[in-house]
Amino acid sequence: MKIPTPLVLILLFCLQSAPAISGAAVRCNPQDKKVLLQIKKDLGNPYHLSSWNTQIQKDCCDWYSLDCDLKTNRVIALTIFQSNLSGQIPPSVGDLSYLQQIVFHKLPNLVGTIPQTITKLTHLTRLDVSWTNISGPIPDFISQLNNLNTLDLSFNYLTGNIPSSLSELTNLNYLNLHGNKLTGSIPDSFGTFKGNPDLYLILSHNQLTGNVPKSLADLKLTKLDFSRNNLQGDISFFFEPDKEIQIADFSRNMFQFDLTKVVFPKALTSLDINHNNIYGSLPQGLTFLNLQFLNVSYNRLCGQIPVGGQLQSFETTVYFHNRCLCGAPLPACK
Ligand SMILES: *[C@@H]1O[C@H](CO)[C@@H](O)[C@H](O)[C@H]1NC(C)=O
Ligand SMILES: *[C@@H]1O[C@H](CO)[C@@H](O)[C@H](O)[C@H]1NC(C)=O
Ligand SMILES: *[C@@H]1O[C@H](CO)[C@@H](O)[C@H](O)[C@H]1NC(C)=O
């Protein structure tokens, strides 16, 4: 027998709202509850999720590590952190259809890779799998999560190249890949992140090589951290007077260019370029900036430190180990 669609909808509506009508305060959606119990099972019933138990806590919206939407009562956030639970990210996570946020943080025994089932989560805005033991490459399919604005995969054991498809995430405004074992170069495509004027790009502490693609000059980056890689070449294109960069860390790479004629953007408040092969002298323009942090140590710079601005208020370690920088706060020039 074929039941007419409106009738099915009415039936479903009654089923869903029945507990509310009968006065029982259980908000939990039965489908979500089923998936959550599957996730718990897939993770080996960890102690961390012991409240995920209808005997202990009837309403799954009150279970530990979860948030439900106040109107729809669907599970919208799964936030599991600081636990010794072990195993892989359960593929069943992809069945929490209304999820907007996944956080798996500080889980040293979480291993394996990111499951493809997360591509079913079309509402996902934040994916944070950080300080875990997941490994393997960053999957290409992450680029299908169109609504993602935060992608944090820092402090894991990820290997391989950064997928160029990540630039298809047009809503992304925070990308953190710090502290993995990523290799290869920064994708050319990264110059085409669209619709995100305030992208914060963190690629530090990996094994990235090659030149930084010039296309990145087209982005409106305000904060970036490329430190502790094996990147090389000239990055002075990040510093043009009309750029919006505020915080830049290029330290501990192999960048090599003449600093003398670089004109820094007015917004720059923090610049770290220590441990590179940067040569020339410190430009006078540094004295016009409102710098809160500077470190140009361990390069091949020469000449007098310009007088003015904050430049004399920094300690000597900001300037030491260069070829022949001199003047306050270093010893006077000869
Ligand atoms: C995990 O932590 C819980 C609570 O701190 C503890 O009872 C349990 O023994 C731990 N399990 C392992 C395998 O360390
Ligand atoms: C995490 O992975 C690293 C590298 O593969 C390994 O040395 C370490 O023992 C792993 N830690 C745990 C808790 O599995
Ligand atoms: C500047 O960087 C060098 C090299 O990493 C470090 O030794 C020094 O302490 C830093 N100075 C400041 C003020 O951060």
Question: Which atom of ligand 1 is nearest to 84's Cα?
Answer: 1
Lowest-pLDDT range of 45-49, 141-145, 240-244: 240-244
The answer to whether the CB of 296 is under 6 A from ligand 3 is no
- Asked whether residue 239 is assigned to any structural domain, the reply reads no
Nearest-atom number in ligand 1 for the CA of 109 is: 13
Kindly state whether residue 67 falls inside one of the protein's structural domains.
yes
Whether residue 282 is contained in a domain is answered as no
Does residue 193 surpass a pLDDT of 80? no
Ligand 2, atom 14, residue with closest C-alpha: 109
Q: Among 205, 297, 310, 319, which residue has the most ligand 3 atoms within 8 Å of its CB, making it the best to mutate?
A: 297
- For residue 74, the domain's CATH number is 3.80.10.10
User: Residue 8: pLDDT above 60?
Assistant: no
> Residue 299 falls within a domain, yes or no?
no
The domain total for the chain is 1
Tell me the pLDDT tens digit for each residue of 323-334: 999 999 999 998
In a domain, 236, yes or no: no
Percent of the chain with pLDDT over 70: 92
Q: What pLDDT score does 13 carry?
A: 46
Counting from 1 in the atom list of ligand 1, the atom nearest the Cα of 85 is 1
- Please work out whether the CB of residue 318 comes within 6 Å of at least one atom of ligand 3: yes
Query: Mind listing the pLDDT tens digit for each residue in 197-223?
Result: 678 999 999 999 999 999 888 888 889
Residue 312 lies in a domain: no
pLDDT at 17: 45
> How far away, in angstroms, is 299 Cα from ligand 3 center?
12
Residue 251 resides in a domain: no
Q: What is the mean pLDDT of residues 97-117?
A: 97
Task: Please name the residue whose Cα sits nearest to atom 8 of ligand 3.
Answer: 317
pTM: 0.89
Residue 101, domain extent? 25-133
The predicted structure's pLDDT at residue 24: 56
Beta carbon of 206 within 6 Å of any ligand 3 atom: no
Per-residue pLDDT at 248 exceeds 50: yes
Q: What is the pLDDT of residue 54?
A: 85
Question: For a pocket test of ligand 3, which of 318, 319, 321, 330 has the largest count of ligand atoms closer than 8 A to its C-beta?
Answer: 318
pLDDT at 229: 98
Cα(16) to centroid(ligand 1), Å: 37
**Does residue 313's CB lie within 6 angstroms of at least one atom of ligand 3?**
no
Whether 224 and 244 have beta carbons less than 8 Å apart is answered as no
Q: Is residue 32 part of a domain?
A: yes
pLDDT digits over 10-20, tens only?
444 444 444 44
